[in-house]
């Protein structure tokens, strides 16, 4: 009998040349897409271990535990990957808001008549969301 | 008076070092996330001009007009970007299925007890979906 390593599920992902995969966070109830970020192995492992959304901040080159300072945390209900094993989808309950602008979702800008228009308004003070 | 170029909305996106942005296709009605792919400028421009999902195939290094051979096309109802202008979200009506495996969505694999499990079954013959 061969023992199966606990981390095999991590190894089977197709990490890119920077050791990252794109990650989409979707509201588990409304199905609204809340944000898009990147994960390295450590971020995904911690996400699964803690059931909290943890990402890799490419701009700050460090783990980004969503909401760890603001309280706007993500409770992870389900983790999925796509058919190429190179994109992660998190089904989450978002406490507060996902976007640093104070909006529930980062995807608030719509192309209308050749112009990008912000179609959703902030629901909380952006200052309260950072990190 | 300054004439505003029609392509200004394209230039305002934060294209990555390969000239690409990630693109998420979401069912406009059910909000199910159907697939994830990449777009270059030309793909996004054609998507908006034709209201059909057009992507950039990184493996084949060419435009990928989703469904042009199989008929599994995507009618684009809405185009959004995220707060960093570096991710595109398409709200679409998917004719047939999005995934090359014959499933409606590419995100049919869920992490359950440390194992990746295919939780959704194909609804059409995969042979009918390619391209």
Cα separation, B123 vs B108, whole angstroms = 12
Q: Which residue among A26, A81, A109 places its CB closest to the CB of B80? A: A109
pLDDT in tens, A35-56: 999 999 999 999 999 999 999 9
| Residue B111: closest CA among A79, A84, A123 | A79
Chain B residues closer than 8 Å to A102 by CB: none
| Residue A16: closest CA among A88, A86, A90 | A86
pTM: 0.94
Q: Do A84 and B107 touch (CB under 8 A)?
A: no
At residue B130, the pLDDT reads 62
User: For residue A5, is pLDDT > 70?
Assistant: no
Q: Is the ipTM of this complex over 0.90?
A: yes
Chain A residues closer than 8 Å to B107 by CB: 80-82, 87, 89
Q: Do A80 and B108 touch (CB under 8 A)?
A: yes
Determine contact, residues A106/A98, Cβ cutoff 8 Å. yes
Closest CA of chain B from A52, distance in Å: 15
Q: Do A26 and B33 touch (CB under 8 A)?
A: yes
The size of chain A, in residues, is 131
Beta-carbon contacts below 8 Å between A and B: 98
pLDDT in tens, A53-93: 999 999 999 999 999 988 999 999 999 999 999 999 999 99
Average model confidence (pLDDT) for chain A?
A: 93
Helical (H) or strand (E) element with B11: helix B8-11
| Residue B13: closest CA among B41, B43, B47 | B41
Tokens of A55: 């990402």
**Rounded to 10 degrees, what is the CA torsion of B2, B3, B6, B12?**
-10
Cα separation, A45 vs A48, whole angstroms = 5
Cα separation, A75 vs A53, whole angstroms = 7
Q: Do B31 and A35 touch (CB under 8 A)?
A: no
């Amino acid at each position: 009998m061969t023992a199966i390593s606990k981390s095999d599920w991590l190894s089977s992902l197709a990490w890119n040349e920077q050791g990252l995969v794109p990650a989409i966070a979707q509201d588990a109830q409304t199905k609204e897409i809340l944000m898009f970020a990147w994960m390295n192995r450590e971020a995904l492992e911690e996400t699964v271990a803690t059931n909290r959304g943890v990402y890799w901040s490419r701009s700050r080159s460090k783990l980004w535990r969503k909401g760890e300072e603001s309280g706007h945390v993500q409770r992870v209900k389900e983790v999925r990957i796509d058919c190429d094993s190179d994109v992660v989808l998190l089904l989450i309950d978002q406490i507060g808001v996902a976007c640093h602008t104070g909006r529930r979702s980062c995807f608030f800008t719509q192309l209308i008549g050749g112009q990008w228009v912000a179609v959703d308004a902030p629901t909380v003070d952006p200052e309260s969301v950072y990190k």
